[in-house]
Chain A
Amino acid sequence: MRYAMAIDTKKCVGCSDCVVACQTENEVPIGYCRDWIVEVTDGTYPELELEIRSERCNHCDNSPCVRCCPTGASHYSDGGSVLVTHNKCIGCGACVSSCPYDARYSHPKGYVDKCTFCNHRVKKGQQPACVSVCPTRCMYFGDLEDPNSEVSKIMKLRKYKTLAPEAGTKPQVFYLI
């Protein structure tokens, strides 16, 4: 089982609903966020292109954060998603420094926090909060190893890319372009 997420940049309007939903679902403290929206504008008026991406932890296959965690608090869990065991985390910040996507942050309670692919929801058969709230339905989540999952099906139909592939982390969040 390999959980992955595919986000359709052609449909995303950058409304940030995913950010608010994540905040209310996961009780992320105000001032912090687990996901964010990036807008990339390229060109000169009026020859312009705009790409909007909803970014978060990529739950990488070769994640540097799991590798450099001294206590094993950062670990691989169901479907390869990367989770943090709060009472094993000492707050050393090694994982924060090692993430090329700057996806982690230091929670005020002391441990390091980030997107968990809403593990508590996925275990119950639901979708992550961001995926289930997105008004344009541009986010797909599921098991890449299951050919019938939404993610597998959409990725067969479209071109996609990942962020900073040169960092060698093998991220599992794919952007449909």
Chain B
Amino acid sequence: MKTNRRDFIKISSAGVAVAAITPPLVKWASASAKSNSEISEDGLRRTPTYCEVCFWKCAGWVYTDENNNIKKIIGHEDDPHCNGRLCPRGTGGVGMYSDEDRLKKPMIRTNVRGKQEFKEVSWDEALDYVAEKMQKIKRKYGPECVALFNHGTGGKQFSHMLNAYGSANVSAPSYGQCRGPREVGFVGTFGESIGSPEPCDIRDTKCLVLIGSHLGENMHNGPVQEMAEAIDRGASIITVDPRFSTAASKSKFWLPIKPATDNALLLAWIHVLIYEGWFDKEFVEKYTYGFEDLKKHVKNMTPEWAYGITTIKPDVIRKTAKEMFNASPSVIIHPGRHATWYGDDTQRSRLMAMLNALLGSWGQRGGFYKPEKVKVPSFPHPDYPKPTKSWRDAFPDKYKLAGLALSNAMCEATIPTVERECSFRAWIVYGTNLIKTLPDRKTTLKAIQSLDLIVVIDTMPAEITGYADVIFPECTYLERYDFVRASQHRDPYLALRMPAVPPKYDSKPGWWIAKELGLKLGLEEYFKYESIEEVLDWQLKEAGSSLEEMKKLGVKKYDRKYDDLFFTEGLPEMIFNTPTGKIELYSNQFAAAGYDPLPNYTKHMEPPQGFYRLIYGRAPMHTFGRTANNENLTDLMDENSCWINPRVANEWGLKNDQYIWLKNQDDVVSTFPIKVRVTERIRWDSIYMVHGFGHNNKKMTRAHGKGASDSELITRVIVDPIMGGTGMRGNFVTFLVNDPKKEVVS
């Protein structure tokens, strides 16, 4: 059945006139919000939560007044993620709640008089619509043809529902578009992935090495706090970045590397460490495999060789290597987080893992600690049906080492082709703006057009909601319960999220939407509870606490059960989860899968004449595009700017605060202009812009048209063959000084 061509429709204001004064009718939330409230000194009610503005999930206290206005959000003093201090986005979370542009009522796409519009419907109607379509797809194609894209805590509710329905095709864009390569790289070396938060003991380290990571601008709360502590203790920082980032400005050594040449530098470092004997001999002897192979492999990869490629002087390479060795084992080659750059990122992560192994920082104070988390059992439910198809079937010989599902692969597997017997027919998108998240927008849009159903669950309108068939408005994290946070850290902790205020408008929490949808799909057996509080209480009691206790505490610390935080006396006997049981400098896993067991340097494309490499990054006051409409945060930064080196600006005659359009190598022009910032901090062959601006959805009144979108200019995607990560830094842009729409096309 061919679906109608799906247009991007901006949610019209005509229908969205639901009074904000609609009193909250859901009594479960309001009852709990009032019963367990503590009144603080200023007469404000205090409830615990953990933040959802970014993935870091810092626990905090929400202060509400008697009129249900959220006054402020403060970090939880006992939470190791934030140590009592939230980042600017967490503090600005009040803006997420009060944003009047929020999604307010469920909506369904209809065709009225030939024009596509959204009409507001009741929850029942919207849920029935989705359930009916999903059943149809199950009957005709099989339940595995429904995919879930998830980025947020509530996603777990939906993956439970989807698994019960019969599909295990759940992916988070944060894997294939972000941290995937480092997980696979570290699994290939140490046999375990890094996870979140990264188990790096930054506060006690003597030397922190950042390969492209811009700590301080990416405002990962925990690491930034620990980096400040490390600076206080006199730790040295080595930053490898073509841009003079904030972290670079605090570094003892800043290596202004030529973009896309990091592997050469890392190989040269390994060469220096090995051939100068600057490595932890005992550690290497005891724990690693493949040292001789590695030594032979890097024989000719000298600093002089690397100098020609990276423009980093040989003596700097040697000096920094010595610095790392002097700090060993309290040294961290930080795995970074967003690692999908040039398509050989898994190998780069492997090199970083190998450097850590040579310096013996694994399991050492000031290096990598052994994280632990609380095991919280799932609420009892019958076994999930076994799916017969998975997204991997669409890519038989590709991405063999991908540990988790790839969103870009699932997107590709949605477009029907003759070679494949089936493709995805429905998408459930939770809390991720796929249009901006997945590079190669053309493929994403093509995939969306071929779907039978696309359901979007989100709190704010965004580009993806414009393409949805059904929109479910979720309430923000401040108005709902979610599963407890049981993340890994130096000690196991649990953190509770409970609503501080009832949901605004007609929005509902994710768990309610997932449950109601599950019930409509006939999956009552998997949802044998009235409200999530039942589930949470059961889970917490199993974990040695209770909902009552967690509501008072907010955060609870547990004792470590399994092993020590660090290796305490010398190096114990250890078996790593690799084919040889050792840390594999030569990776057998990679070799078996047909990939290079030892990483190499490959030359990447360079910008053509008149073009500059598009480098993107983060700003500490925003989380990608998610906060672009938050009034507290747009007050700080409401548009991004294009960093241009003064030499380049001179050549082009560009001045500060001038607006220009960007055109990339595939002739894609940015929809909106971007402000020029002439600064020495960026290299002359690149330009830099913060990701998450240039929103096209008019319903985001503060974010629409502000700044330019880097993701629409990322059309050339270099996919990592090992695990499918989408390398996005291979795009080049040139400048258009005049409005391209006004130019006459001859």
* A contact residues vs B (CB 8 Å cutoff): 10-11, 13-17, 19-21, 23-25, 30-31, 33, 41, 43-46, 48-50, 52, 124, 132-138
Report B-chain residues with C-beta under 8 Å of the C-beta of A11.
228, 231-232, 250
B207-251 interface bits toward A, Cβ cutoff 8 Å, 1 = contact, 0 = none: 000000001110101001101110110000000000010101110
Q: List 15 A-B contacts (CB under 8 A).
A: A11-B231, A11-B232, A13-B215, A15-B87, A16-B620, A17-B87, A17-B88, A19-B636, A20-B88, A24-B94, A25-B72, A50-B244, A50-B246, A135-B86, A136-B225
What's the Cα separation between A25 and B632 when bound, in Å? 12
What's the Cα separation between A16 and B112 when bound, in Å? 47
What's the Cα separation between A19 and B246 when bound, in Å? 18
Are the C-beta atoms of B636 and A48 separated by less than 8 Å? no
Given pairs A10-B250, A13-B246, A21-B91, 16 additional interface contacts (CB within 8 A): A13-B620, A14-B216, A16-B636, A23-B635, A25-B72, A31-B635, A33-B635, A45-B244, A45-B682, A45-B684, A48-B254, A48-B681, A124-B41, A132-B85, A137-B228, A138-B228
Report B-chain residues with C-beta under 8 Å of the C-beta of A52.
246, 249
Are the C-beta atoms of A10 and B231 separated by less than 8 Å? yes
* B contact residues vs A (CB 8 Å cutoff): 41, 71-75, 82, 85-88, 91-92, 94, 215-217, 219, 221, 224-225, 227-229, 231-232, 244, 246, 248-250, 254, 256, 620-621, 631-633, 635-637, 645, 679-684
Report B-chain residues with C-beta under 8 Å of the C-beta of A132.
85
What's the Cα separation between A23 and B227 when bound, in Å? 26
Report B-chain residues with C-beta under 8 Å of the C-beta of A30.
631-632, 635
Are the C-beta atoms of B680 and A44 separated by less than 8 Å? yes
Are the C-beta atoms of A48 and B632 separated by less than 8 Å? no
Report A-chain residues with C-beta under 8 Å of the C-beta of B244.
41, 45-46, 48, 50
What's the Cα separation between A16 and B228 when bound, in Å? 15
Report A-chain residues with C-beta under 8 Å of the C-beta of B248.
50
Report A-chain residues with C-beta under 8 Å of the C-beta of B231.
10-11
The residue of chain B having its C-beta at the shortest distance from the C-beta of A137 within the complex is B228
Are the C-beta atoms of A45 and B246 separated by less than 8 Å? no
What's the Cα separation between A33 and B637 when bound, in Å? 13
Report B-chain residues with C-beta under 8 Å of the C-beta of A20.
88, 91-92, 621, 632-633, 636
What's the Cα separation between A20 and B72 when bound, in Å? 10
What's the Cα separation between A31 and B224 when bound, in Å? 28
Report A-chain residues with C-beta under 8 Å of the C-beta of B229.
137
Nearest CB of A to B265, in Å:
15
Are the C-beta atoms of B85 and A15 separated by less than 8 Å? no
Considering residues B217, B227, B249, B254, which has the most beta carbons from chain A within 10 angstroms of its beta carbon? B249
Are the C-beta atoms of B216 and A23 separated by less than 8 Å? no
> Known contacts being A46-B244, A48-B680, A136-B224, is A13 close to B216, with CB within 8 Å?
yes
Are the C-beta atoms of A137 and B680 separated by less than 8 Å? no
Nearest CB of B to A108, in Å:
14
Instruction: Select one of B74, B219, B254, B635 contacting A15, CB under 8 A.
Output: B219
Pairs A-B, 3 closest by C-beta atoms: A13-B216, A136-B228, A50-B249
Report A-chain residues with C-beta under 8 Å of the C-beta of B74.
133
Are the C-beta atoms of A133 and B620 separated by less than 8 Å? no
Report B-chain residues with C-beta under 8 Å of the C-beta of A10.
231, 250
The residue of chain B having its C-beta at the shortest distance from the C-beta of A24 within the complex is B72
The residue of chain B having its C-beta at the shortest distance from the C-beta of A13 within the complex is B216
Are the C-beta atoms of A133 and B86 separated by less than 8 Å? yes
Nearest CB of A to B617, in Å:
13
Are the C-beta atoms of B92 and A46 separated by less than 8 Å? no
Report B-chain residues with C-beta under 8 Å of the C-beta of A24.
71-73, 91-92, 94, 632
Nearest CB of A to B313, in Å:
11
Report A-chain residues with C-beta under 8 Å of the C-beta of B219.
13, 15, 135
> Known contacts being A20-B636, A41-B244, A44-B680, is A15 close to B41, with CB within 8 Å?
no
What's the Cα separation between A16 and B229 when bound, in Å? 18
Are the C-beta atoms of B680 and A135 separated by less than 8 Å? no
Nearest CB of A to B664, in Å:
24
Nearest CB of B to A134, in Å:
7
> Known contacts being A41-B244, A48-B249, is A15 close to B621, with CB within 8 Å?
yes
Nearest CB of A to B736, in Å:
25
Nearest CB of B to A74, in Å:
26
Nearest CB of B to A142, in Å:
18
What's the Cα separation between A43 and B682 when bound, in Å? 12
Are the C-beta atoms of A15 and B224 separated by less than 8 Å? yes
The residue of chain A having its C-beta at the shortest distance from the C-beta of B227 within the complex is A136
Report B-chain residues with C-beta under 8 Å of the C-beta of A16.
88, 620-621, 636-637
The residue of chain A having its C-beta at the shortest distance from the C-beta of B232 within the complex is A11
Are the C-beta atoms of A135 and B250 separated by less than 8 Å? no
Considering residues A13, A19, A21, which has the most beta carbons from chain B within 10 angstroms of its beta carbon? A13
Nearest CB of A to B641, in Å:
12
What's the Cα separation between A140 and B221 when bound, in Å? 19
What's the Cα separation between A153 and B224 when bound, in Å? 24
The residue of chain B having its C-beta at the shortest distance from the C-beta of A129 within the complex is B72
Nearest CB of A to B659, in Å:
21
Are the C-beta atoms of B680 and A17 separated by less than 8 Å? no
What's the Cα separation between A134 and B75 when bound, in Å? 11
Report A-chain residues with C-beta under 8 Å of the C-beta of B681.
41, 45, 48, 50
Report B-chain residues with C-beta under 8 Å of the C-beta of A31.
635
What's the Cα separation between A11 and B86 when bound, in Å? 16
What's the Cα separation between A43 and B254 when bound, in Å? 14
